[in-house]
Structure 1
């Protein structure tokens, strides 16, 4: 039984939230995982999600917003169906990360934290995706693509646009 009577989340997600609260010594510690799960289910962290998560954790809405605004991987607006994150941290930068980012901007016709008019792609410059040995790298949703070239990026984006995504190398 969910702790919140009128949840905006699916019954499975509400149950996951209820469980999360039990595994941390302080309820507040479940905040970031809840925000990530909410974003996965809703596509972004909406105002109703902020309110419900605050209520579940006995926090003020402002406490949730403060954490939400701190983490760049959390969104308050919908992203595209395919969220392209290009790493520009030191290893990727030295191996062409900014060229890959600029290429994505030109190819998709959007800038950082923007979404294509058809809602298909969104683009973000990110600090690190943990692929330093295979730089430059990007992530599309949760799929990693590394050792990138502009030609490889074109092929990857074409595969996602065609709905085939993931295993494009």
Structure 2
């Protein structure tokens, strides 16, 4: 079983992204808004995924499988009204950790979020983010992609 340990932050100031990898992402949710488990379709550039994410904030189960474009398109219509579009920039922080910075488009623009994954809960809790990170929203369910796909940008 894969477990994801990550913290999520708003972005105070955009960093230099010239060395980051950029991907165009569209994702939609197959599960109902009140389901604790998320079942998500994601297109990242020309690759397609089906992902299951369990309940939780800092730590949760995550399983992902690559699927074909045809499989993606078969289920994509079922995500209507529960979609997110964004650009994802993946880069390295000065401490060697990897960040994933999402710049949302469409109804969620101009929202920007950044995530950092960790190998343990203790490491995650002890983490001091760089100055360009804004407030920590890890435990704020309104900033989960699924909730924003349904409810829009949090107030």
Of Structure 1 and Structure 2, the greater helix share is in 1
Q: Same fold (TM over 0.5)?
A: no
Greater relative contact order (CA < 8 Å, ≥ 6 in sequence): 2
TM-score by length of 1: 0.22
Structure with higher Rg: it is 1
TM-score by length of 2: 0.24
Of Structure 1 and Structure 2, the greater strand share is in 2
